[in-house]
Amino acid sequence: MFRGLTYPLCAMIASVGLAYSAFAQDTKAAGNPTVGAKTTAPAAKEIKTETNPGAKDVKTDTRSAEKTDKAENKTFKSDKPIVIEAEKTTPLAGPAVKKLIFIDFYNESNNANAKWMVDSIGESIFELTKNKYNYTRIPNKVWRDYAAQKNFKPEDFYNTEKLQAMGYALKVDGIIFGKFVTTEENVQISGKILSVVDKEIIAEKNVTVPFSSQMFEDVQDVSETLGSRIKDLFFPSDRGALWRSAVLPGWGQYYKQRKTWGYIYGGVIGTGAAFSLFSLIMLQSSKRAYESYQPDHVKTPQGEFGIKDPSAAQAEFSRLENAANQWYQITLISASITFGIYLWHLFDAWFFEGSYTEIGKSATAAGAKERDSLFGSNIRITGDRAPLSIRMDFAF
């Protein structure tokens, strides 16, 4: 029995070793981009000399050479940050530049006295966040031309499905939109942030304010709240990681930039599922062999039929029964272990965060390289993505 139980454990350990070995080779290859590159010494610079007909010695004019060195040094120095295109990312590159659309808020009541809020809220959010986060704003003309081609109605600018289709067509990461409804006494404002990648609303703010001088402060509060949540577009969502891991083990970890754990979970769960299926097939085969076994019979002189060798037949029945019981235990244990790892890996995909780089304007490729680690991860203490969320970094 115990000899048979070692099969699933050995198979799972072997899968972990193969996954880790493949990752180590990829890491080694990616971490040494200069291997095999040839270096050549720079060509010697020509230094012009000036000769004086009346002088005995020849003086070398080194001022031109010094100016040339300074000019070359200036060529490689720049105070401006390097902007990395969203579609071109490398292992040493900083976080990709996100593309966002700021949609005009839908004036549901068509109140002419409140038209100033149509574009003021989106512009206020943009002004609050343009210097904080590294993203590119899609010009208004681009999304307005798309809306004109698709015959958008005013209410369509608050339709999540149509905005999702717009974001997918324009290849953006997020859309900030909303609406407001006015009555005789107050105005109801609803603002949302749509993640085009995850196809879900990641932030929402609803307020009802009276028509008064304080209304401008309340509108500003909506802008500040949504502006503080734009950073959520820069992180993979927990829900997106959860359903991805449920569909394909390891995909959620890979989605959260925890590729090593994605490889490990995918290899272990895949191997466990394959071995459980193999054990189930062997169990069914053993049961059929037990049920179909027919010992040799003989006919007695009295005309009766009997078992030729009862002790051998009993031994064979016992062997087939033990084999079926053994494969039953192996199948049960293997399936239980695999299912337990599968449940844990779902929790792991939802709860743990990847070792993300900074998302602000100061993010650089060097910073991204420094934060890389083999098993790096973050724990989100508060369980949400509010601005005051606490995160603990660890690596082992």
Q: Which of 234, 267, 302 is the last residue of a domain?
A: 234
Question: Is 105 part of any domain?
Answer: yes
When the pLDDT of each residue in the chain is averaged and rounded to a whole number, the result is 73
User: Do 298 and 314 belong to one domain?
Assistant: yes
- In whole angstroms, what is the distance from residue 87 CA to residue 50 CA? 54
What does the DSSP 8-state code read for residue 131?
Answer: T
User: Do 213 and 153 belong to one domain?
Assistant: yes
* CA distances in angstroms from 377 to 16, 25, 137, 247, listed in the order given: 19, 21, 30, 22
Residues 6+ apart with CB under 8 A from 345: 245, 249, 250, 252, 253, 265, 269
**Average pLDDT of span 211-225:** 77
- In whole angstroms, what is the distance from residue 383 CA to residue 366 CA? 30
Question: What is residue 81's predicted lDDT score, i.e. its pLDDT?
Answer: 43
Question: Is 27 part of any domain?
Answer: no
Q: Which of 202, 234, 266 is the last residue of a domain?
A: 234
Question: How distant is the alpha carbon of residue 24 from its chain centre?
Answer: 20
**Average pLDDT of span 307-321:** 85
pLDDT, tens only, 252-292: 998 888 889 999 999 999 999 999 999 999 999 999 998 88
**Pairing, β 174-182 against β 98-102:** parallel
Neighbouring CB atoms inside 10 A of 290's CB total 17
Question: Is 11 part of any domain?
Answer: yes
User: Do 251 and 163 belong to one domain?
Assistant: no
User: Do 261 and 228 belong to one domain?
Assistant: no
Question: Is 83 part of any domain?
Answer: no
**Average pLDDT of span 102-117:** 88
For residue 321, the SS3 value is: helix
Question: What is residue 146's predicted lDDT score, i.e. its pLDDT?
Answer: 95
Question: What is residue 101's predicted lDDT score, i.e. its pLDDT?
Answer: 94
For residue 287, the SS3 value is: helix
- Of 111-120, 172-181, 260-269, 294-303, the range with the lowest mean pLDDT is 294-303
CA dihedral sign, ordered 133, 135, 139, 143? negative
Q: Which of 201, 217, 234 is the last residue of a domain?
A: 234
First-to-last C-alpha distance (Å) of the chain: 36
- In whole angstroms, what is the distance from residue 5 CA to residue 327 CA? 9
User: Do 217 and 353 belong to one domain?
Assistant: no
User: Do 308 and 378 belong to one domain?
Assistant: yes
Question: Is 60 part of any domain?
Answer: no
Question: Is 40 part of any domain?
Answer: no
Which tops the pLDDT comparison, 151 or 363? 151
Question: Is 92 part of any domain?
Answer: no
User: Do 112 and 188 belong to one domain?
Assistant: yes
Structural domain span for residue 185: 98-234
Query: Given a cut of 70, is residue 154 above it in pLDDT?
Result: yes
User: Do 301 and 361 belong to one domain?
Assistant: yes
User: Do 221 and 282 belong to one domain?
Assistant: no
What does the DSSP 8-state code read for residue 171?
Answer: T
Question: What is residue 285's predicted lDDT score, i.e. its pLDDT?
Answer: 94
Question: Is 28 part of any domain?
Answer: no
CATH number for 111: 3.40.50.10070
The verdict on pTM exceeding 0.85 is: no
* CA distances in angstroms from 290 to 52, 306, 362, listed in the order given: 112, 19, 71
Question: How distant is the alpha carbon of residue 50 from its chain centre?
Answer: 64
Number of domains in the chain: 2
User: Do 269 and 378 belong to one domain?
Assistant: yes
* CA distances in angstroms from 28 to 264, 291, 292, listed in the order given: 18, 55, 56
User: Do 174 and 222 belong to one domain?
Assistant: yes
User: Do 247 and 389 belong to one domain?
Assistant: yes
**Pairing, β 174-182 against β 186-195:** antiparallel
